[in-house]
Every structure is written in C-alpha cells, then in structure tokens.
Structure 1
C-alpha cells in the first residue's frame, strides 16, 4: 500500500486490521529479500549521474563528496559520501535522524506504546519506497489517532510510530554492512514548522565506512518516485 500521512497514521489498522490494533495483536511475518545482496563497496568519490528517475542533478561538489538533485513539485535530494573518521556508524545514523527530524520541523520521535498482549498472526507491510516482508516478531498497538508497530526478523527491525498527523518509519537490515531507511511523513494542511510533508534518509555502506546517504525532502507526502530514485542513487554507488 502507498502510505499517505493519513494512511500512515492508521498503519496499524491497515496492516493488521482494526480489531487486531484494538487487541494489541502480535503478528508473525516473514522476510523475503527483494534482491540478492552483495558486499557493499568502499566508495572514494560519488558517482552523480545527470538524471536518475524523476531526479535531475543541479550541483556536484568538486571533491566528489556530495551532489544535489531536484525532483517534481519542489522535492530535493542530497547525495553524500560520509567517511566515519573515528565516528561510529550508529553516531552517523543518529546524526542523520536528527537532521531529518529537523527538516520535518519536529524534535522528538513519537512515544513508544505500552506493553501489549501477544497473539500469533501474519502480515505484509508496504511503505513509501520500501516493501517489507519479514519474519519474526511484531507488536502492534494503536487507536483511532495513533499507531505503533514494532517488528523484528532475524536481526532486521521495522519501527512505525504514528500520532498527531505525523508518522515515523525506520528500517534496519541485518545484512552485511549498514542498510538503514528513516522516513517522516506528516499532514501539512494546518501548516508545519518546515513545510516539508516528507523528510527521509536512505543510507548504505560497509561497516567500516564510508557510508553513502541520500537525504530527501518533499512538499508532497506521496513521494514514492523520489524515494525510489534516491535509493537508486545510493545503490548505484555502494551496491545493493
């Protein structure tokens, strides 16, 4: 399913069914790799094509560490090469997450849900630019105005927190290297601090770095084509 802000707000209901959300149902799901992953490459300078999907390159740094793209309806993507230089990958991802929250005009994640009863079940969830089919454990909790979903599968994690017209989606993969996606989407009818309806990053790279990251922002919440193009830029540089 394509996740608009309202759909994300009701992701628990959409994925598990309203009755399951009301019960806080535990859901068992399975993971299926979309493609066979290989070893992620060590990147020295970025490859920044003139075009990638719906994106057009607007600028590229002379040192090969960044380039900027414009997308439809004012969307923007910045591709970055991030050497660790003594920093941990966790530190880099936390810093990117803080930046994305700042782009969305928010300062903190949605609060996690309290503990919920556990029952067996299955589901598949599709997010903007991300299709998740995983097996392991999932906990869901929500009501008419919020939804909180946690899933784990062989080390992979998926987190969805939605409330107050805003939703955060975060995925990490247990595959070799670093593979992380973080998306914030929100209703903008009433105005937001930033005006961005969607802010996100897609990051991949070897555990020892450097990491390649695409930082994404869009005035439109339905930005699947922009996210897909940004992910393609990252993949073209560092691998799948």
Structure 2
C-alpha cells in the first residue's frame, strides 16, 4: 500500500526549475540503458524510442506536440493508452513500462485511501464524542454513517467504502470498485528559470488500473514534462504484469523525461 504514495510523493518532489519559453528539442536523447530500462528501438526521426524493463514492462518515449493546449494533448494520450493495443505504435507500447509501475501504485492507492478515510473517521468520531455530538457524515438520504468527507483548503477527501475521491493540491485519486485513476498536473519552471516569475513548463503523471483496459493489460499510464508550448516529452507505459515493478522503474522513467523535457 506504500507504493502509490511513494510514487506520488517522489513525483511531486521532482518539480523542476526553469527560464525561457524558448526551450525546445527536435530529437530525443535515448540512452541504451537507463536503470532497469533497456532501449529496444529508436525511430529514424529521433522523435520516439522504445524501452523494456527486465520484467517486460513497456515504455515508449515520445515528443508530443501541444498545439497550444498541453492538457488537451495529454488527455488524448490518456485516451490512447486506454484504447486497444493495436492502435499504438511499437514504441508507444514500449513506453508503457513506467506507467505499469505507476498503475500498480494506483491499485494500492485505493486501499491506502480506504485506510486514510478510516483514520479520518476515527478522529472525527473522537472529536464528536468530546463535543457531545453524534459522528458520521450526512449524504442527504438520512443515513450517511459510512460516508467520510474532509474539506480543508487544498485538501478534499470523500470515501464511502465503495468509492474514494482524493484531491490534495495537484494530486487527484479516483477509485471505484476495481478502477483506480491517478492524475498529477503541476505548472513548473523550466530548467535555468529558477528566478522567473512565470512557470512555462509542466510535469504530469497519469496512472490507470481497472477493468476498462485492453485484454491482457493490468495497468497503463504516463510521465510527461516539458514546455507548455511544446513539444512535451511523454513516457507512455503499459504492463501485463500485476506486480509493483513500476516502483522500481519509476525513477528511471522520470530521468528520461527530465533529461529531454527540460524540467
């Protein structure tokens, strides 16, 4: 259960610094090895390269145009990852290695959110008892003792035993039944722009695990970074292995994105 929180924490902690909207690359730097990732192919134009982890997770590193809408471009990547494998290039399939680990992390995230909600409920009950009041939330239907809600500046948690929704700053976790989705989106400064008043870059993470996946896949996701004006460096991940191997390659994927994305 620690894996999703560790991945989210490391992702949030690695927001970079930066200084000009002019940062842009035409070709990727694709080392033969990056930690547990081994390069298996590089496109002729240098805009994509594919990696594979020792346990078969697939990662595709790509340059993605934003066309002035970075979040819209990433939304398309999310849709692509959750579509049929045949719609992806070999490089894109390879890119799924990193997301594999993150999605495994997301699966654990649901259980972690349940534990978090239980602890919040316990504290609320103790506070209510001390104040001589009854505990439990209210869902509008009369009985909401199984609903836990926390609304604080920058922190919003809702959990009812079946579904969990967490909003903590840039981190969003939505869990329902077998499905868990994690999104992290941060505006950041580009490399060399530590003193800039504008954050021209972004870092983003997406993880999805659940029943709405192509046959055989256990989790998908991406790590992205770069100037909002584009191109973004996006590492797409897919894995058919239901393990926490993604925790091991998460740092490797981040290194590939940071090296090329300039964040």
TM bin, normalised by shorter chain, reads 0.5 to 0.7
1:94 aligns to what? Answer: 75
Q: Deviations over 1:28-64 (max 9, x none)?
A: xxxx844652348411100000001110000000101
> RMSD of the TM alignment (CA)?
2.8
Paired positions, count = 181
Q: Which runs of 5+ in 1 are unaligned?
A: 5-31, 105-113, 121-135
Q: Distance in 1 between matches of 2:238 and 2:151?
A: 37
Higher helix share: 2
Counterparts of 2:40 and 2:254, CA distance in 1: 18
Q: Does 1:141 align with 2:158?
A: yes
Structure 1 runs (4+) greater than 4 angstroms displaced = 32-36, 114-120
- Say if 2:229 is the partner of 1:208: yes
CA 1:50–1:169: 2 relative to 1, 3 Å: same
Of 17, 24, 27 in structure 2, the residue corresponding to residue 37 of structure 1 is 17
Matched with 1:7 is none
Q: 1:51–1:201: structure 2 CA closer, same or farther, 3 Å change rule?
A: same
CA distance in 1, matches of 2:13, 2:250: 19
CA distance in 1, matches of 2:150, 2:177: 26
The alignment status of 1:167 with 2:180, answered yes or no, reads yes
Q: In 1, Cα distance between the equivalents of 2:13 and 2:184?
A: 14
TM (normalized to structure 1)? 0.66
Partner SS for 1:174: strand
* Structure 1 residue 194, shift from structure 2 partner: 2.5
Name structure 2 gaps, 5 residues minimum: 6-11, 86-138, 141-147, 189-198
CA offsets 1:167-221 (integer angstroms, 9 cap, x no match):
100001132212111111348xxx9643222211111111211111000112234
Aligned residue in 2 for 1:123: none
Q: In terms of mean alpha carbon deviation, does 95-104 or 50-59 score higher?
A: 95-104
Determine the C-alpha separation between the residues in 1 that align with 2:219 and 2:243: 5
Matched, 1:227 2:254: no
Per the alignment, do residues 103 and 204 of structure 1 end up closer, same or farther by CA in structure 2, a change over 3 Å counting?
Answer: farther
Are positions 1:60 and 2:73 aligned together?
Answer: no
CA deviation after TM superposition for structure 1 residue 103, in Å? 6.0
In structure 2, do the counterparts of structure 1 residues 192 and 206 end up closer, same or farther at CA, with 3 Å as the change threshold? closer
Contact 1:216/1:227 (8 A) holds in 2: no
Question: Is the 1:103–1:199 Cα contact (8 Å) retained in structure 2?
Answer: no
Q: Please give the TM-score of this superposition, normalised by the length of structure 2.
A: 0.61
1:27 corresponds in structure 2 to none
Cα distance in 2, alignment partners of residues 182 and 147 from structure 1: 17
Per-residue deviation, 1:91: 2.0
Name the SS of the counterpart of 1:144 in structure 2: coil
Q: Distance in 2 between matches of 1:186 and 1:47?
A: 33
Match of 1:17 in 2: none
Which of the pair has more CA radius of gyration? 2
Aligned counterparts, 1:96-115, within 5 A: 96-102=77-83
8 Å CA contact 2:179–2:208 kept in 1: the answer is yes
